[in-house]
């Protein structure tokens, strides 16, 4: 009887995470376009980050619940796959409905409808995210963990590249309009969400079909669990007891998780700012559009947005997709070398170095303003943009390297310190370290932008850079452990 967990082929590891490509495709569409959609539906810069709070709040609520539930689930479809598949179906529905928010104006204000659809999408994405992280920990042996999470990071970034660039392609190659009046969504964005929803569902179905999870007995044997320590499948305990057990888990979380939480706070605080404010930042800083065009009161006073302003905002919005695709390309490339680098230099060294590059790249945003217009050949099409927009591709290298590390290194460092029978719930709890800093960022970034920087959005990007540099310092205080290797060797939990 085999007691050690079998090694997986490259394509088996690929199939385990392939659905994450589609989930990230949808997530990238959201990141690059939700600010654009909500601004078009009437949100100002101060409130924009508040609408984005929906995402981390959904993660905070959903992931621990799904994590705990998936730890206790063993059925014909598996342990994690039922949640991945169910989340994909719900996300598909949300992605179809979000760009059509103005259609439902007879029932709800477009802004409220848009916020509700963002909530549905984010809740669904989170139902998928957490089980995917746990599926890698379940299926991939400790000796291949760096490879497993690096492949997942690669697939995430392939999906992010395609999702980020899609509205640009639909406008500049297919010919769909990328502009819209207040209260509307540009046709290129609408169709991008339709395509993204289809890709998301298709890739998740691939993972569900092509990945066979271990039976309970196999899993327990490979993870060094015995009948007493394995998670029992019994009737649900009373709610009060389950809540008590949950808070006990939080209180007793591994030390490595607590230390990584500090790193996560400063990393995700920075990322949230980037996703929310890159569009207004480059519209103001690179396209030289006055900040008054982000003020709903001013817009109401003038009645109609001039065509030149709409065109510039549409072009800036499309270019954000290019920038986000660029950092995802660099992240995907770096992901190829990430496992080898981590094995050679140590996870902590690679993680900290990546965050330093990311932080410096955000700060350098200030140095790239150049309003001179230039014709750029992007192979699939040619566009005319400010030189500063092209130069912003340089800091995207550092942002991409940081993003690849953030997607892989914390989970690779954490996985070995978690009890094998509670991986799902602890991965869900670990999402607090992703959601909480975004909530703090959402509650404070808008105030900082309006009160400290007078709505000059480029400076809030610098704040993101400083935050990420602090996160890099915190990495060196993390101490790693590996319970799984010890348990498999000793045969005890």
In 3D, which of 16, 26, 30, 80 has the Cα closest to residue 198? 26
User: Quick check: 162 and 27 in contact, CB under 8 A?
Assistant: no
Quick: pLDDT tens for 349-395.
999 999 999 999 999 999 998 999 999 888 778 889 999 999 999 99
If 0-12 CB within 10 Å is exposed, 13-18 middle and 19+ buried, where does residue 106 land? exposed
Q: Is 454 left (phi over 0), alpha (psi -120 to 50) or beta?
A: left
What pLDDT was estimated at residue 99? 80
- For residues 42 and 114, what is the distance between their CA atoms, to the nearest angstrom? 11
Q: Where are the alpha helices (DSSP H) in 288-346?
A: 296-302, 307-345
Residue range 95-133, pLDDT digits in tens? 888 787 767 655 666 667 767 777 888 888 888 877 887
User: Which pLDDT score is estimated for 341?
Assistant: 92
Supply the pLDDT for residue 453: 93
Element (H, E) at 49: helix 45-52
What does the pLDDT read at residue 488? 44
Using alpha carbons, select from 94, 396, 123 the residue that is nearest to residue 274.
396
The residue with tokens 């991939």 is 140
- Going along the chain from its start, the domains and CATH numbers come out as 10-221+248-490 (1.20.1250.20)
Residue 56 has a pLDDT of: 80
> Cβ distance 470 to 275 under 8 Å?
no
Residue 321 CA, distance from chain mean position: 15
Query: 307: how many CB neighbours lie within 10 A of its CB?
Result: 9
Task: Give the single-character DSSP code of 449.
Answer: I
276 closest CA partner among 98, 441, 59, 57: 441
**Going residue by residue through the chain (493 aa), what tens digit of pLDDT does each one get?**
556 788 889 899 999 889 989 988 998 888 778 777 777 666 677 677 777 787 788 777 787 778 778 777 777 778 888 888 998 998 898 888 878 776 765 566 666 776 777 788 888 888 887 788 788 878 888 788 778 878 887 888 888 888 888 988 898 888 898 876 666 788 888 999 999 999 999 999 999 999 888 888 888 887 777 655 555 444 456 667 766 776 787 787 888 889 999 999 999 999 999 988 999 999 999 999 998 888 877 877 887 888 888 889 888 988 998 998 899 889 888 988 888 898 899 999 999 999 999 999 999 999 998 999 999 888 778 889 999 999 999 999 999 999 999 988 998 888 777 776 677 677 777 878 888 899 999 899 989 998 999 999 999 999 999 999 999 999 999 988 765 444 444 444 3
The answer to whether the beta carbons of residues 58 and 195 sit under 8 Å apart is no
Q: What is the pTM of this model?
A: 0.72
The predicted pLDDT at position 284 comes to 93
pLDDT at 476: 93
């Amino acid at each position: 009887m085999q007691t050690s967990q079998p090694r997986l082929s490259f394509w088996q590891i690929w199939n385990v995470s392939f659905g994450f490509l589609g989930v990230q495709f949808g997530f990238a569409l959201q990141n690059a376009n939700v600010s654009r959609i909500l601004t078009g539906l009437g949100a100002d810069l101060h409130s924009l980050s508040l609408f984005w709070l929906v995402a981390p709040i959904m993660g905070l609520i959903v992931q621990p619940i799904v994590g705990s539930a998936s730890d206790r689930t063993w059925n014909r479809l598996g342990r994690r796959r039922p949640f991945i598949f169910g989340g994909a179906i719900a996300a598909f529905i949300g992605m179809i409905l979000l760009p059509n928010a103005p259609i439902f104006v007879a029932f709800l204000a477009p802004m409220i409808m848009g916020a509700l659809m963002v909530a549905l999408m984010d809740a669904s994405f989170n139902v998928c995210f957490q089980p995917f992280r746990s599926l890698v920990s379940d299926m991939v042996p400790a000796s291949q963990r760096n490879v497993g999470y690096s492949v997942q990071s690669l697939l995430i970034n392939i999906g992010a590249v395609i999702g980020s660039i899609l509205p640009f392609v639909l406008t500049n190659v297919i010919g769909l309009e990328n502009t819209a009046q207040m209260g509307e969504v540009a046709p290129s964005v609408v169709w991008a969400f339709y395509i993204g929803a289809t890709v998301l569902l298709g890739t998740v179905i691939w993972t569900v079909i092509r990945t066979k999870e271990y039976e309970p007995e196999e899993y327990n044997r490979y993870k060094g669990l015995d009948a007493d320590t394995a998670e029992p499948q019994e009737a649900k305990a009373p709610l009060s007891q389950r809540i008590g057990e949950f808070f006990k888990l939080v209180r007793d979380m591994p030390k490595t998780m607590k230390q990584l939480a500090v790193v996560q706070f400063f990393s995700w605080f920075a990322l949230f700012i980037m996703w929310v404010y890159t569009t207004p930042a480059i519209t103001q800083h690179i396209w030289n559009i006055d900040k008054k065009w982000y003020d709903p009161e001013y817009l109401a006073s003038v009645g109609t947005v001039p065509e030149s302003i709409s065109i510039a905002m549409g072009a800036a919005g499309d270019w954000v997709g290019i920038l986000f695709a660029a950092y995802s390309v660099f992240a995907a490339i770096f992901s190829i070398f990430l496992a080898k680098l981590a094995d050679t230099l140590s996870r902590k060294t690679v993680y900290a170095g990546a965050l330093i590059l990311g932080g410096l790249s955000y700060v350098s945003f200030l140095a790239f303003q150049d309003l001179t217009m230039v014709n750029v050949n992007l192979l699939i099409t040619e566009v005319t943009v400010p030189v500063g927009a092209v130069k912003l591709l340089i800091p995207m290298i550092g942002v991409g390297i940081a993003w690849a590390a953030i997607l892989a290194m914390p989970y690779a460092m954490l996985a070995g310190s978690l009890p094998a029978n509670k991986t799902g719930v602890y991965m869900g709890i670990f999402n607090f370290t992703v959601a909480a800093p975004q909530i703090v960022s959402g509650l404070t970034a808008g105030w900082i932008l309006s009160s400290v920087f007078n709505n000059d959005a480029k400076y809030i990007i610098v704040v993101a850079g400083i935050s990420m540099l602090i996160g890099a310092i915190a990495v060196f205080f993390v101490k790693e452990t590996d319970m799984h290797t010890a348990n498999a060797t000793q045969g005890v939990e």
